[in-house]
Each structure stands twice: as C-alpha cells, then as structure tokens.
Copies of this chain bind each other. A is one copy, B any other.
Amino acid sequence: MIVSIKKGTDENQVQNLVEWLESLNLEIHRSNGQYETILGLVGDTSHVDIDLIEGLNIVNRVARISEPYKKASRKFHPDDTVIDVCGNKIGGGNFQFIAGPCSVESTEQICSIAEDIKNAGANLLRGGAFKPRTSPYAFQGMRAEGLDLLKKAREITGAPIVTEIMDLSHLPLFEDVDVIQVGARNMQNFELLKELGKTDKPILLKRGLSATMEELLMSAEYIMAGGNSKVMLCERGIRTFEHYTRNTMDISAIAMLKEKTHLPVIADPSHAAGMARMVRPLALAAVAAGADGLMIEVHNDPARALCDGPQALRPEEFAKVVKEANAIREIMTKF
C-alpha cells in the first residue's frame, strides 16, 4: 500500500501516522519528494482500512497494491477450487447447469419442472421459497413450505437443490438444502455471511447490484474466514445508467474474476436481463467468456406462460441453450 502525504504536513503528524502503521505490523519505507512524501507499506496490508487512511487531512491519496482478500485470492491459491454438490462438480473445468422456476408454487409445478430440466441436461434444481421483493405488497414466496416442496422434487429426480436464504434466523430450515444461495441484496449482510462460514454447505454468492468485484471477493472472504471454502460466485448483472435492460450483465467480470480468484464463477442470465428473450444470448456469451456454470429460470406451464415467467425459458428453449452452450464449451478447448 502506498500513502502520499501532502506537502507541508507537520512532521509530528507524519510520525504519528508512521507509528500507528508500524503498530499494525507493517514495515514503512519513506521517501521525501519535492511535492509530497510517499510512504510504502510492506507486509500484510489486508487488515488495513484504506478508507480510514484516505480520509486523513494530511493524505493526498492512498493506493492499494495488493488485494485486501487472501483466502479467495488466486495469488495464494493458484489451483482452481472444485466444489462437489452431491457428486456434481463445479469449477476446475467442470461445468453445471442450475435450472428451475423463479418461485416454488406447488408440488406439481416444481416436480414437473424438475423432470424437465433434468431431461434437458441440468443436474441442479433451483427454486425460490423465500423471495426478496422490492414491494411489501408483492408475493413473498411459499417460505418454509416451499423448501419442503423442493425436497420432494429432489426425492423424485435426485437433483440437488439450490435455494435462497433471506435471513439468518431461517438457517435451521436450510439444514437439508444442498446449496444455499445468498442473494444480491444480502451480499453485504455480514452477520449472515459469518454464520454461513461456520456451516459446511456450498454457498452460491450473488454479486450485489452495485458491488465491485473486490467487494464480492471480500464477501466470499467473510465466508471463507469462518472456515467454509465452498463458495461459488455468481455474476447477475450490475446497475448502470442504461434503462433498455433492467441490469447490465458484466461479462468482463467472468473472465476477470477467474483471474483474481480460484473460486468457480457462475452466470445468471435470467436476472441480468430480466426478459426471457435475452437469456439465450447472455447465456451463450457467459459460456464463451469462460463461466463455470449457468443458472437459468425455466417454467413449464404453457397455459400461464404469458404472465408467469418474464425472465424464464420454456423447457424446450432451455434444452436448446444447453446444447448450444455445450457446443461452445467444446470449441473453447479445440483450437
């Protein structure tokens, strides 16, 4: 970390800062220039609060050279992490399709879709039981009952289940869930992350709408610091000024995250676009950019199709995307 001190700063203040930094077990290299004094901080700076230093009146600018995460960093763990979900591997060259409805609605619905997506090539079943909704007047999900229906669908198809937790107090209900999803709005719910770090469940951690990649990795670090290193990251679109699409899928994040971390990176093209007709192009793009998996919303009720699934594919559309995605994956290692 590099700290630039303003010209004309009182020497006592500089000394105070140097001593405080040394008390954090850092070695300080100082060079006095004509227009500023530069402090180079050598050692483990992952626990140094960059905002705190940047806010000091005597400081021009602070630059972090090393990333503030360690367990999630590829620098310290060069090999890909491979996560095994009931025999289905993700990461390190292993790819998975995770599919299912936005919300669990009935035994019939979830079991039928579960069969469909399995036949189409997805090994993992997703479905929302607890639903975070912007409006208090919108449907909030079947909650505990929805979890039970997901387990029934798992019994029938054998597909492990992926579902979102919304609050720490619900954790006991998730004991028999195979992958716990942390939604975008909870990416910095640190109390929740800490508790998930004490479990041994695979966690699917979604990137917040305005979270930087570094913040996403810091949230993964929270879980890993607790002892649970089975974290999958999920790019699902970020918030920008553009309004023709609900969110802007950050396709560069897929390639960049795979450079920065050893954790698997999944893409969620359904939420990134918010419209079914954009799912296929975004899904294929994510595969071409190097994603380790796709999470896609699929619905199956043609009678309600019109209003049911704004961002969901029909099973036959999903099956086509699976074939195309697999074909693109083959090309990626061919030339």
- Classify chain A: how many residues form its interface, as a range: 35 or more
Whole-angstrom distance between the Cβ of A221 and the nearest chain B Cβ: 6
Contact B244 A241 (CB under 8 A): no
Known: A284-B288, A285-B288, A289-B282. A242 touches B213 (CB 8 A): yes
Whole-angstrom distance between the Cβ of A53 and the nearest chain B Cβ: 7
8 Å CB contact of A288 from B250, B311, B328: B328
Contact B278 A252 (CB under 8 A): yes
Bound state CA distance, A125 and B176, in angstroms? Answer: 45
Known: A68-B135, A260-B244, A285-B251. A210 touches B239 (CB 8 A): yes
| Known A31-B40, A284-B328; further 14 A-B contacts with Cβ < 8 A | A35-B66, A38-B40, A54-B275, A136-B193, A136-B194, A166-B191, A169-B191, A213-B242, A240-B248, A245-B256, A259-B277, A281-B290, A284-B332, A287-B288
Whole-angstrom distance between the Cβ of A293 and the nearest chain B Cβ: 16
Interface residues of A in 199-250 (CB under 8 A from B): 208-210, 212-215, 218, 221-222, 225-226, 238-246, 248-250
Contact A335 B324 (CB under 8 A): yes
8 Å CB contact of A327 from B140, B272, B334: B334
Whether, in the assembled complex, A320 has its beta carbon less than 8 Å from a beta carbon of chain B, the answer is: yes
Whether, in the assembled complex, A122 has its beta carbon less than 8 Å from a beta carbon of chain B, the answer is: no
Identify the A interface with B (CB < 8 A).
Answer: 2, 4, 7, 13, 16-17, 20, 29, 31, 33, 35-36, 38, 40, 42, 46-47, 49, 51-58, 60-61, 63-66, 68, 75-76, 132-138, 140, 166-169, 185-186, 188-194, 208-210, 212-215, 218, 221-222, 225-226, 238-246, 248-256, 259-260, 272-278, 281-282, 284-290, 306-307, 309-311, 320, 323-324, 327-328, 331-332, 334-335
Instruction: Kindly report which residue of chain B lies nearest to residue A13, judged by CB atoms.
Output: B306
Residues of B within 8 A of A209 (CB): 210
* Interchain Cβ contacts under 8 Å between A and B, 26 examples: A2-B2, A4-B66, A20-B307, A33-B42, A35-B75, A54-B274, A56-B275, A56-B310, A135-B221, A136-B221, A136-B222, A185-B188, A186-B189, A238-B240, A238-B241, A238-B242, A243-B243, A245-B253, A248-B252, A251-B251, A252-B278, A285-B289, A324-B332, A324-B334, A324-B335, A328-B331
Each complex incorporates copies of this chain amounting to 4
Instruction: Kindly report which residue of chain B lies nearest to residue A246, judged by CB atoms.
Output: B51
Residues of B within 8 A of A243 (CB): 212, 243
Bound state CA distance, A23 and B76, in angstroms? Answer: 34
Contact B253 A278 (CB under 8 A): no
Bound state CA distance, A222 and B188, in angstroms? Answer: 20
Residues of B within 8 A of A327 (CB): 331, 334-335
Residues of B within 8 A of A168 (CB): 167-169
Bound state CA distance, A33 and B65, in angstroms? Answer: 12
Residues of B within 8 A of A140 (CB): 190
Instruction: Kindly report which residue of chain B lies nearest to residue A286, judged by CB atoms.
Output: B285
* Max chain B C-beta neighbours (<10 A), residue from A17, A53, A238, A240: A240
Residues of B within 8 A of A248 (CB): 238, 240, 248, 250, 252
